[in-house]
């Protein structure tokens, strides 16, 4: 583990580094200390890279790629693959344009069927997407390298793409949190790739669509609906309040109090249980092991009362 004094000194010098001018990306919440190093600057720079002023500028180059759709590939693998392509696009000064997304190929997505935009904002502007898809049929554009596709790169190039170095090496300030048999692993290989994948995923999953919000609301209601209802009922003094629809809202109600996210109990421990198919990649830990870890964390943080369990298996019985 790193000495505390050395780590503190590194963080102080890191926080003194200047960030690019302009507004911070609104999809990043929390303080800088609550996010990975340089997250706000990186997210802003990725957005600028992906949104050139003039998509028809002859100097603008594109990388067009469908999401991975091989059998057995989960959303995690798809995001990792697209993170590699985004890294290539930034390194080669290309605008990444995503194509077909098999998980959106259903009736619920309606007009955005087969597109990432069913769930989140698109990775670039519609103007750039239109221009890129025009160039796909242009033989000269392929020959000049104005446009490239996923098959323009070997599989290893995509999955282990070189992490952009335009922001230096902010991953060197991360403290790994891997605990193996009571020992903390202080140094990890490929921390740069972990940092970059987190940045790429954060950009790609910015701003949920109405459809995604609906799915999340159903999950939240199933998990925390009763708890939320109890809180509301406990806040009522006597009689059930009358619904007044014509009463105008004050400005603070309209512009401040209304700007909040759906309620979930906090603090909330999110724990992903790897099961089933993942046994081909790693030693799968029994469910009891996850519960032991949750208990250890709760003993250290007694105010923690809620654990959110997730798994890649659609049918699981605990």
Residue at 170 is within a domain: yes
Beta bridge partners of 63: 96, 148
Contact of 306 with 269, CB cutoff 8 Å: yes
One domain for residues 55 and 113: yes
- Has residue 242 got a pLDDT over 90? no
Is residue 57 domain-shared with residue 130, that is, in the same domain? yes
Q: What are phi and psi of 62, to 5 degrees?
A: -130, 155
pLDDT at 20: 46
Q: Is residue 11 part of a domain?
A: no
Has residue 123 been placed in a domain?
Answer: yes
**pTM score of the predicted model:** 0.84
pLDDT band, very low/low/confident/very high, at 315 (cuts 50, 70, 90) = low
Q: Is residue 24 part of a domain?
A: no
pLDDT exceeding 70 applies to what percent of the chain?
86
Assess whether 199 and 218 both reside in one domain. no
Kindly state whether residues 46 and 187 are assigned to the same domain. Answer: yes
Q: How far is CA 119 from CA 80, 204, 255, in A?
A: 17, 10, 26
Residues 237 and 304 in one domain: no
Give me the mean pLDDT over the 128-155 stretch: 97
Residues 198 and 66 in one domain: yes
* Whether 142 and 238 share a structural domain: no
CA distance linking residue 302 with residue 293, whole number of Å: 14
Q: In the prediction, which pLDDT does 256 show?
A: 84
Asked if residue 228 and residue 194 are part of one domain, the reply reads no
pLDDT band at 43 (very low <50, low <70, confident <90, very high): very high
The domain of 305 spans 268-311
Residue 28 lies in a domain: no
Q: Which residue has the higher pLDDT, 46 or 14?
A: 46
Cα gap 207→209, rounded to integer Å: 7
Residue 1 falls inside a structural domain: no
Q: What pLDDT does 14 receive? A: 37
For the residues 48-52, what does the mean pLDDT come to?
Answer: 98
Domain check: are 226 and 290 in the same one?
no
Q: How confident is the model at residue 159 (pLDDT cuts 50, 70, 90)?
A: very high
What is the number of domains present in the chain?
Answer: 3
Residues 79 and 60 grouped into a single domain: yes
Of 187, 207, 227, which closes a domain? 207
Give the contacts of 185 (CB within 8 A, at least 6 positions apart): 176, 178, 179
Q: Is 54 exposed, middle or buried (0-12, 13-18, 19+ CB in 10 A)?
A: exposed
Single residue among 190, 207, 224 that ends a domain in this structure: 207
What 3 state SS string does 165-227 have?
CCCCCHHHHCCCCEEECCEEECCCCCHHHHHHHHHHHHHHCCCECHHHHHHHHHHHHHHHHHH
Q: Is residue 232 part of a domain?
A: yes
- Mean residue pLDDT of the chain comes to 86
């Amino acid at each position: 583990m790193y000495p505390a004094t050395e780590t503190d000194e590194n963080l102080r010098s890191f926080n003194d580094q200047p960030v690019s001018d302009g507004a911070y990306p609104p999809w990043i919440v929390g303080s800088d200390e609550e996010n990975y190093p340089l997250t706000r600057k990186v997210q802003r720079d990725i957005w600028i890279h992906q949104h050139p002023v003039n998509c028809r500028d002859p100097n603008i180059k594109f990388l067009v790629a469908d999401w991975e759709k091989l059998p057995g590939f989960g959303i995690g693998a798809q995001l990792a693959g697209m993170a590699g392509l985004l890294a290539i696009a930034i390194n080669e000064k290309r605008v990444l344009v995503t194509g077909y997304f098999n998980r959106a190929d259903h009736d619920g997505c309606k007009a955005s069927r087969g597109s990432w935009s069913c769930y989140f904002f698109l990775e670039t502007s519609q103007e750039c997407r239109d221009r890129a898809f025009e160039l796909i049929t242009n033989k000269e554009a392929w020959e000049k390298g104005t446009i490239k596709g996923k098959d323009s790169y070997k599989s290893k190039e995509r999955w282990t793409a070189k992490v952009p170095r335009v922001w230096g090496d902010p991953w060197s300030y991360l403290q790994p949190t891997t605990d193996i048999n009571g020992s903390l692993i202080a140094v990890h290989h490929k921390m740069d790739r972990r940092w970059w994948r987190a940045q790429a995923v954060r950009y790609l999953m910015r701003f949920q669509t109405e459809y995604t919000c609906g799915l999340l609301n159903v999950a939240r209601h199933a998990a925390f609906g009763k708890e939320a209802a109890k809180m509301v009922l406990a806040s009522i003094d006597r009689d059930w309040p009358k619904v007044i629809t014509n009463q105008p809202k004050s400005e603070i109600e309209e512009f401040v109090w209304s700007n909040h996210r759906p309620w979930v109990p906090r603090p909330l421990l999110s724990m992903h249980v790897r099961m089933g198919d993942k046994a081909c990649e790693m030693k799968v830990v029994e469910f009891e092991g996850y519960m032991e870890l949750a208990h250890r964390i709760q003993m250290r943080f007694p105010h923690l009362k809620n654990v959110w369990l997730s798994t890649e298996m659609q049918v699981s019985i605990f």
